[in-house]
């Protein structure tokens, strides 16, 4: 019987959830109906933009200040490290807390009654947002999990070759190395200075590395060290002509660049929703092109689903269900802003500080700055200054938090849509002072 108090609450909440989900489907032309939360504030501010195109609204400080107002930012420091993970807007963290309380109250009743339905609803919603069929995506915990499912699940045998660059993220490199150690696949790593190459040269370098044994290429859409955008679609098209599959590491591109996943032409794509999507920490997404699902071995054994169903790859056991609701909130928030507008703003703020520093003595910008080759993330250094020391000075003397993830001579600057022009000016002034001391 579903007439007890708990069941009533579940169905009320489910109705609410599905209502929100339905609103999203309407949102392509009109913004969704929103509750009075941070998405709502951003939505209201967006109305004042009128007919502005994304490039015009990228510089509308009134609008972006209302976006900033949707976040509870630390007063201790300026956060230029969105590349690890981004804070959620207040409405997102409220959703996590409220839903955690509700789920905790209902406990196993919720899990048995509603959990799987809520996974399905959120997956549908995310599919609409990401521009792919729900049958091709899976909610995971992060990029590492998504791409390990792929790398470990590929049907490779001894002698089969995988190609990837030395700038790929370490967790993916070690996954391929484990397959080499255990099963004898061959890793062909590209040691190329991508930042000084044109996109044509980059595609050709991948092409030249291909042999008759090559089965798969791993490539980042945005390189985590420098923020460089790689020509993944061209790499995919070139590889497909030779029957080679491509895995795209989309850790930094999802909800950062406005591209839809299927538009990139990859066979597999993994991302972390806690990065540029601003969903709760510990949420991610895996995309597998429909016809590729059948041949992928599940990393976590499964007996529930047919071999051609993506759910066979998601037998993760029990995990926090309340995060699903906050993913839905992140979808609403991103839609209220609009991805094209978000991308334009992120590129604008990168250009804002880069153009003010590029010609300054001793400052070296390591990321290509053409619009199609970078967006928010950019690597910068000071001549002869250790990047760890630079990050330390920025934090201790100017309260600017950033890191040096490993690119020689550079710190990685990752502002976000909550960053203000005042913060960028403060950073520019700090770098000029530090460069003058060098």
Spatial neighbors of 59 by CB under 8 A, at least 6 apart, are 348
Q: Can you state the angle between helices 38-47 and 90-106, rounded to 10 degrees?
A: 150
Q: How many residues bind ligand PLP (CB under 6 A)?
A: 12
Write the DSSP assignment of 248-292 as a string of letters.
Answer: EE-TTTBTTB---GGGGT-SEEEEETTSTT---TT-EEEEE-HHH
Q: What string marks each residue from 413 to 432 as x (binds ligand PLP by CB under 6 A) or -?
A: --------------------
Strand runs labelled E in 12-160: 78-79, 137-140
Q: Considering the complex, what minimum distance in angstroms separates the CB of residue 143 from ligand PLP?
A: 4
Taking the CB of residue 240, how many other CB atoms lie within 10 A of it?
Answer: 14
Judged by beta carbon, residue 195 or residue 220, the one nearer ligand PLP is 220
Q: Looking at 88, 272, 283, 311, which residue binds ligand PLP (CB under 6 A)? A: 272
Using CB under 6 A as the binding rule, the residues of this chain from 166 to 205 that contact ligand PLP are 169, 171
Q: Considering the complex, what minimum distance in angstroms separates the CB of residue 61 from ligand PLP?
A: 29
Spatial neighbors of 356 by CB under 8 A, at least 6 apart, are 428
Using CB under 6 A as the binding rule, the residues of this chain from 219 to 238 that contact ligand PLP are 220, 224
Tell me: does residue 404 bind ligand PLP (CB under 6 A): no
C-alpha–C-alpha distance, residues 48 and 66, integer Å: 11
Q: Considering the complex, what minimum distance in angstroms separates the CB of residue 147 from ligand PLP?
A: 7
Tell me: does residue 283 bind ligand PLP (CB under 6 A): no
381-402 b/e with 16+ CB inside 10 Å = b?
bbeebebeebbebbbeebebbb
Structure tokens at 331: 């979808």
Q: Considering the complex, what minimum distance in angstroms separates the CB of residue 317 from ligand PLP?
A: 18
Q: Are the C-beta atoms of 134 and 121 separated by less than 8 Å?
A: no
Q: Are the C-beta atoms of 80 and 400 separated by less than 8 Å?
A: yes
Tell me: does residue 254 bind ligand PLP (CB under 6 A): no
Judged by beta carbon, residue 103 or residue 375, the one nearer ligand PLP is 375
C-alpha–C-alpha distance, residues 326 and 278, integer Å: 10
Tell me: does residue 121 bind ligand PLP (CB under 6 A): no
Structure tokens at 157: 């045998």
Tell me: does residue 251 bind ligand PLP (CB under 6 A): yes
Stretch that binds ligand PLP, among 140-148, 153-161, 369-377, 386-394 (CB under 6 A): 140-148
C-alpha–C-alpha distance, residues 50 and 57, integer Å: 9
Q: Are the C-beta atoms of 342 and 57 separated by less than 8 Å?
A: no
Q: Considering the complex, what minimum distance in angstroms separates the CB of residue 145 from ligand PLP?
A: 7
Q: Looking at 143, 226, 334, 402, which residue binds ligand PLP (CB under 6 A)? A: 143
Judged by beta carbon, residue 171 or residue 420, the one nearer ligand PLP is 171
Stretch that binds ligand PLP, among 25-33, 249-257, 350-358, 374-382 (CB under 6 A): 249-257
Stretch that binds ligand PLP, among 71-79, 141-149, 237-245, 253-261 (CB under 6 A): 141-149
Q: Looking at 23, 79, 144, 374, which residue binds ligand PLP (CB under 6 A)? A: 144
Tell me: does residue 374 bind ligand PLP (CB under 6 A): no
Spatial neighbors of 370 by CB under 8 A, at least 6 apart, are none
Judged by beta carbon, residue 63 or residue 169, the one nearer ligand PLP is 169
Q: Considering the complex, what minimum distance in angstroms separates the CB of residue 330 from ligand PLP?
A: 15
Element (H, E) at 179: helix 170-183
Judged by beta carbon, residue 143 or residue 402, the one nearer ligand PLP is 143
Tell me: does residue 249 bind ligand PLP (CB under 6 A): yes
Q: What string marks each residue from 64 to 93 as x (binds ligand PLP by CB under 6 A) or -?
A: --------------------x---------
Write the DSSP assignment of 85-106 as a string of letters.
Answer: --PPPHHHHHHHHHHHHHHHHH
C-alpha–C-alpha distance, residues 436 and 82, integer Å: 27
Q: Considering the complex, what minimum distance in angstroms separates the CB of residue 264 from ligand PLP?
A: 15
List beta partners, residue 79: 401
Judged by beta carbon, residue 121 or residue 416, the one nearer ligand PLP is 416
Beta-carbon-side half-sphere exposure of residue 418 (alpha carbons within 13 Å): 23
Judged by beta carbon, residue 121 or residue 402, the one nearer ligand PLP is 402
Interface positions with ligand PLP (CB under 6 A): 84, 142-144, 169, 171, 220, 224, 249, 251-252, 272
């Amino acid at each position: 019987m579903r007439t007890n108090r708990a069941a009533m609450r579940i169905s009320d909440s489910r109705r609410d959830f599905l209502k929100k989900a339905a609103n999203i489907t309407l949102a392509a032309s009109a913004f969704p109906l929103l509750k009075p939360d941070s998405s709502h504030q951003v939505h209201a501010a967006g109305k004042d933009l009128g007919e502005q195109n994304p490039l015009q609204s990228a510089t509308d400080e009134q609008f972006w200040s209302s976006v900033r107002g949707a976040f509870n930012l630390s007063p201790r420091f300026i956060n230029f490290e969105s590349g690890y993970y981004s804070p959620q807007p207040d409405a997102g963290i409220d959703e996590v807390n409220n839903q955690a309380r509700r789920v905790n109250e209902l406990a196993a009743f919720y899990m048995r009654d509603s959990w799987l339905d809520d996974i399905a609803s959120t997956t549908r919603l995310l599919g609409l947002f990401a521009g792919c069929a729900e049958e091709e995506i899976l909610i995971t915990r992060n990029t590492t999990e998504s791409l390990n499912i792929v790398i470990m699940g590929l049907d490779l045998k001894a002698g089969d070759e995988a190609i990837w660059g030395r700038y790929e993220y370490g967790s993916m490199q070690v996954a391929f190395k484990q397959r080499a150690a255990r099963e004898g696949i061959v890793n062909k790593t590209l040691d190329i200075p991508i930042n000084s190459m044109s996109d044509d040269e980059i595609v050709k370098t991948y092409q030249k590395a291909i042999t008759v044994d090559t089965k798969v290429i791993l490539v980042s859409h945005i390189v985590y060290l420098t923020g460089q955008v790689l020509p993944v679609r061209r790499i995919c098209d070139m590889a497909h002509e030779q029957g080679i599959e491509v895995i795209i590491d989309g850790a930094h591109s999802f909800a950062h660049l406005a591209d839809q996943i299927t538009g990139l032409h990859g066979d597999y794509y993994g991302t972390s929703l806690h990065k540029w999507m601003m969903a709760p920490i510990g949420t991610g997404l895996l995309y597998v092109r429909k016809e590729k699902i059948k041949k992928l071995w599940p990393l976590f054994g499964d007996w529930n689903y047919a071999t051609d169903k993506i759910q066979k790859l998601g037998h993760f056991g029990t995990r926090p269900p309340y995060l699903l609701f906050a993913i839905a909130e992140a979808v609403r928030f991103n839609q209220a802003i609009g991805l094209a507008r978000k991308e334009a703003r992120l590129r604008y703020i990168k250009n804002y500080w880069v153009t003010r520093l590029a010609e300054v003595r001793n400052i070296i910008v390591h990321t290509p700055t053409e619009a199609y080759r970078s967006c928010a993330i950019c690597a910068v250094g000071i001549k002869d200054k250790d990047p760890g020391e630079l990050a330390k000075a920025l934090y201790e003397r100017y309260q600017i938090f950033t890191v040096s993830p490993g690119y020689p001579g550079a710190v990685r600057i990752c502002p976000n849509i909550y960053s203000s022009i005042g913060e960028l000016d403060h950073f520019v002034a700090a770098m000029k002072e530090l460069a003058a001391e060098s």
